[in-house]
Amino acid sequence: MSHHNLEALKSCVLEHSASKAWPQACTEWRLLYIYVKRGGQCVCEHRPITNHCVISNLETGHKLVVGNTCVQRFGGELADLSKSVFASLKKIELHPEEQRANEPLIKLCRKLGILNASGASMYIESWQKRTTLTVKQVEWIVSMNKAILIAFAHTPRTCASCTQLVFAKLSKNNGTIYYRCDRCNIFVNK
């Protein structure tokens, strides 16, 4: 097991940034997507990592896989967002029938196409209910939580036709994982 190497992180980030000063370079990066998978490696050379943040540079277009711990070194919105999203994922993983995703996770799911507009709206509306949810509403929340957990438990694929990221889904028929691009309506190979 290796340890977090701040110098290696800075070197890699600066190499892929327009700015060559760490504070300015940090502001160029945005969270593209996340996934949870044991045994990964951060650009700082730390391994194994479980919580992966794929970040994208607004100036250069470069993408990097950075562990959630190292993303905290960027500070600002990027650090806050990744921390909030992973905390929410952990809560719904532990208690999918009781917990609900927070707003940053719902917005990320909407942006990535994991939830559609009406699904995200209904999810947010369920927070505002002052009464107990019906059995059907709880079942719907649990199914959305499972969809979110499955999407982030697998590395996304890229559709060859439109280059959109495609996230894992669970087949209702046989319980297998599949990837289908909703834009092109085609299955994407694993």
Query: What is d(CA 164, CA 158) in angstroms, rounded to the nearest whole number?
Result: 6
Sign of CA dihedral 166, 111, 176, 85: positive
Query: What is d(CA 169, CA 134) in angstroms, rounded to the nearest whole number?
Result: 26
| DSSP string for residues in 16-75 | TSS-SSHHHHHTTEEEEEEEEEEEE--TT----EEEEEEEEETTT--EEEEEHHHHGGG-
Nearest Cα residue to 66 out of 114, 153, 110, 6: 6
Determine the pLDDT at residue 42: 94
Tens of pLDDT along the chain (190 residues) come to 457 789 999 999 999 999 999 999 999 999 999 999 999 999 999 999 999 999 999 999 999 999 999 999 999 999 999 999 999 999 999 998 888 899 999 999 998 888 888 888 888 888 777 678 888 888 988 999 999 999 998 888 888 888 888 888 887 777 788 888 888 888 887 5
Determine the pLDDT at residue 108: 93
Determine the pLDDT at residue 163: 83
Determine the pLDDT at residue 2: 55
Determine the pLDDT at residue 27: 96
Question: Which residue intervals of 96-134 are DSSP H helices?
Answer: 103-112, 117-128
Determine the pLDDT at residue 56: 93
Determine the pLDDT at residue 119: 85
The answer to whether the CB of 169 falls within 8 A of the CB of 147 is: yes
